[in-house]
Amino acid sequence: MKVEHTEQIAQITGPGAMNATDRRFAVHGTDLGILWDGGDGRVFVLFGDTFGEGRAAHGGGPNEADWRSNVLAFSRTRDLSQGLTLDGFIPRRDGTAAQVIPRDKRRDEVTVIPNTGIAIDGVQYVQYMSVRQWGQPGQWHTNYGGLASSVDGGVTWEKPHGSRWINRAERDDPFQMGAFARDGDHVYLFGTTNGRHGDAYLARTRTPEIMNAGAYEYFTGTGWSGDEFAAAPVLPGPVGELSVAYSVHLGQWLAMHLDDPGGAILLHTADRLEGPWSPGEVVVPGAHYPGLYGGYLHPWALDGPDIYYLMSQWGPYNVFLMRSRLAPG
């Protein structure tokens, strides 16, 4: 696989964006925009820390500028060549975007950040991280990585304690940030340690057990183990925000992620989720898009040479739709 061309299609959120999210939904600044097929004719678009009017430059801080830890939008756009239309958000009483995945009632949680989503048999599932402390750029400490589920189309979410990977004092649990994939009767969960500098690991379970953290098994490089710390890296770090999907066009799996120290979004391919994965090819260079991160593949754009994905930029603190053309090779 090689990347022939990359371009920015449209600004999706914030002032001046095609969706006018600032005026319509009180979303002046946000990031991420994880995408998954909701199974109901809509793509779910889940954003991270979100701010309203009066936000500070480069995002903002908790409890200021109408801060919400996450907000959830929907789209039915099939032709992405002109952009991604957001039909609406899960609303508050005044119609503006509501926080959907609740925070814990604990003092040591700064925010709740979504990382990946998937729909199975009409139920929505999200992997998220409970952030304990932000550190230097690209570094943070989590309390745990967890799973949330919604049976009412994303309006309300449950966060069971049995659906969590607790981060140890060593801050080394390998399933704090996740990326879902489904293959046959298994759901797979890629994971990384907290921050953007670790390797990526792989877990799986049968789909009915998706919310049971104790039912997962972990790829060791030669087989599967019930011990998460026996997991072997499947993608070498530094792996930032990760998105995994199957390209019908290439007949291979795609893994897109941020290389934070390298200042670029990379793309890997593999025949199997366990790998081996190809070396990362630069899809978006940071020199052209300063402060880039994210890179979440659109699930309805995987059957042709063009892939579409959402990318964030720190400076404007908003989300953009990107397109890259892939060729075998």
Q: Which of 43-57, 120-134, 233-247 has the lowest mean pLDDT?
A: 43-57
Of 284, 266, 295, 116, whose CA–CA distance to 192 is shortest? 116
- Please give the backbone phi and psi of residue 209, each rounded to the nearest 5 degrees, phi first: -100, 15
Q: How far apart are the C-alpha atoms of 238 and 240, rounded to whole Å?
A: 6
In percent, how much of the chain has pLDDT > 70? Answer: 97
Half-sphere exposure of 199 (CA within 13 A, CB side): 10
Token look-up 């897109």 returns 256
Q: How far apart are CA 326 and CA 303, in angstroms?
A: 11
| pLDDT band at residue 329 using 50, 70 and 90 as cut-offs | confident
Question: What is the pLDDT confidence band of residue 169, given thresholds at 50, 70 and 90?
Answer: confident
- What residue type is 263 in one-letter code? G
The one-letter amino acid code at 162 reads: G
> Per-residue pLDDT averaged across 128-150, rounded?
96
What is the average per-residue pLDDT within 294-320?
97
The answer to whether residue 59 scores a pLDDT higher than 80 is no
Q: What is the CATH number of the domain that holds 228?
A: 2.115.10.20
- Separation between Cα atoms, residue 200 and residue 186, nearest integer Å: 19
Tell me which residue range forms the domain holding 143.
2-327
* CB-neighbour burial class of residue 121 (10 A; exposed 0-12, middle 13-18, buried 19+): exposed
pLDDT at position 146: 98
Q: Are 2 and 280 in contact (CB under 8 A)?
A: no
Q: Kindly report which listed range (38-47, 61-70, 165-174, 193-202) carries the lowest average pLDDT score.
A: 61-70
The whole-angstrom separation of Cα 281 and Cα 294 is: 15
Statement: residue 62 has pLDDT above 90: no
Strand order of the β-sheet with 111-120 is: 111-120, 123-134, 140-150, 164-166
Which 3 state secondary structure label does DSSP give 111? strand
Does residue 187 register a pLDDT over 90?
A: yes
Position 64 scores a pLDDT of 75
Distance of CA 210 to the CA centre of its chain: 17
Q: Assign 177 a pLDDT band (cuts: 50, 70, 90).
A: very high
SS3 state at 163: helix
For residue 125, give every residue at least 6 positions away whose Cβ sits within 8 Å of its Cβ, in sequence order, or none: 117, 118, 119, 147, 148, 149, 180, 210, 211
Q: Which amino acid is at 317?
A: Y
User: If you average pLDDT over residues 217-229, what whole number do you get?
Assistant: 97
Question: Is the pLDDT confidence value at 143 over 70?
Answer: yes
The per-residue pLDDT for 328 is 83
Average pLDDT of the residues in 263-275: 98
Q: Are 288 and 31 in contact (CB under 8 A)?
A: no
Band of pLDDT at residue 54, cut at 50, 70 and 90? confident
Structure tokens at 179: 């990326």
Mean pLDDT over residues 189-212, rounded?
98
Question: Average pLDDT, stretch 225-251?
Answer: 97
Q: Is the pTM of this model over 0.95?
A: yes
- Note the pLDDT of residue 276: 98
What is the per-residue pLDDT for 271?
A: 98
Structural domain count of the chain: 1
Burial class (CB in 10 A: 0-12, 13-18, 19+), 92: middle
Cis status, amide bond into 208, omega within 30 of 0: no
> Chain-wide mean pLDDT for the chain?
96
Q: How many residues does the chain have?
A: 329
For 149, the 3-state DSSP assignment is strand
